[in-house]
Amino acid sequence: MDVVVYQHDQSFVVDSFRGGDFDYVDAVDEVEETQFFRYIGTHQILTKLAESSPSSREKEEVPTWIYIASNLSMRIHGVHSFHAYPYVVRCGGMLNAFGPEVGHKTVHPETKDVTLRCAGFNDKNTYDRQTPCDQDFLRKLARHTTPDRLEGWFNREVVGILKQHKAFDPEGIFIGDASYLFVPDNENYKGSVKMLFDEHNHPVDGKKLTAERRARCQWKRCYKLVSLIHTNRGGDFFLYAAVAVVSGKTHECPVLYRLVEGLWYKP
């Protein structure tokens, strides 16, 4: 297998890679991410998402579209911790798409280290920014947006925007799915429940199990993710058309029917 490395010191990186001296390998291509953000920017998709966003902020010091773009970039890289945001911005392609008004990458002439310089969106900064917005801003805004409003926004406005841009196949094939979302055993996960699961993560009734089989089971705290997934006959893509996160003990059928009915909402 050929290994192509985009780095100033390629021999060092290749030797380190072959020796197993790495902590993380990101499969997202910077060029592809740049093209993605340029597309949703040029077609005003990002603007429409920002205009309909359920943000609870009365004063918008940082544009909502930056918040949405930053979250999209983190999800593209498979990152969920806001503390990783500076890393995602540095190695991703989001800044390439939005130009120097948001930020740009610079290379140190001697060390060849890549650093970021971002203008920011207010006059409160007394130092050079290395991210378009602070990671703590992303965390606080996400925390202040209630789950029901966020879920409703995705199922109505976001999916409506996707429909406007012909994201759905005319044949209209949808798949209903229910999956368990496991979380740490902490009661602060509101609406979660503890259930008994077997070694294959299937819920079981402990009263009906033999002692031997019960010993292989575990109590786990969980939610249930009910999804309405769109695809075509060839299975070339999978698009979430509607989602709902409910208690792990909730039966998925009534929730799924509600999602199907809401799919025809027109913003």
- The pLDDT profile of the chain, 267 residues, written as one tens digit per residue, is 555 555 567 777 778 778 877 665 655 578 889 999 999 999 999 999 999 998 777 777 788 999 999 999 999 888 888 998 988 888 788 888 888 778 877 777 777 676 777 877 766 666 667 788 889 989 999 888 888 999 999 999 999 999 999 999 999 899 999 999 999 999 999 999 999 999 999 999 988 889 999 999 999 999 999 999 999 999 999 999 999 999 999 999 999 999 998 876 554
Q: What is the structure's pLDDT at 218?
A: 95
Whether residue 228 contacts residue 257, with contact meaning beta carbons closer than 8 Å, is answered with: no
Q: What is the structure's pLDDT at 19?
A: 82
Closest to 168 measured CA to CA, from 177, 176, 157, 160: 160
Closest to 38 measured CA to CA, from 115, 129, 126, 102: 102
Provide the token pair at 201: 């993560």
Whether residue 48 contacts residue 159, with contact meaning beta carbons closer than 8 Å, is answered with: no
* Separation CA 88–CA 113 (nearest Å): 16
Name the helix (H) or strand (E) containing 183.
strand 173-183
Name the helix (H) or strand (E) containing 31.
helix 30-42
Provide the token pair at 241: 């058309």
Question: Distance of alpha carbon 155 from its chain centroid, rounded?
Answer: 15
Report yes or no on whether pTM surpasses 0.85. Answer: no
Angle made by CA atoms 111, 117, 120, in degrees to the nearest 5: 165
Whether residue 73 contacts residue 82, with contact meaning beta carbons closer than 8 Å, is answered with: no
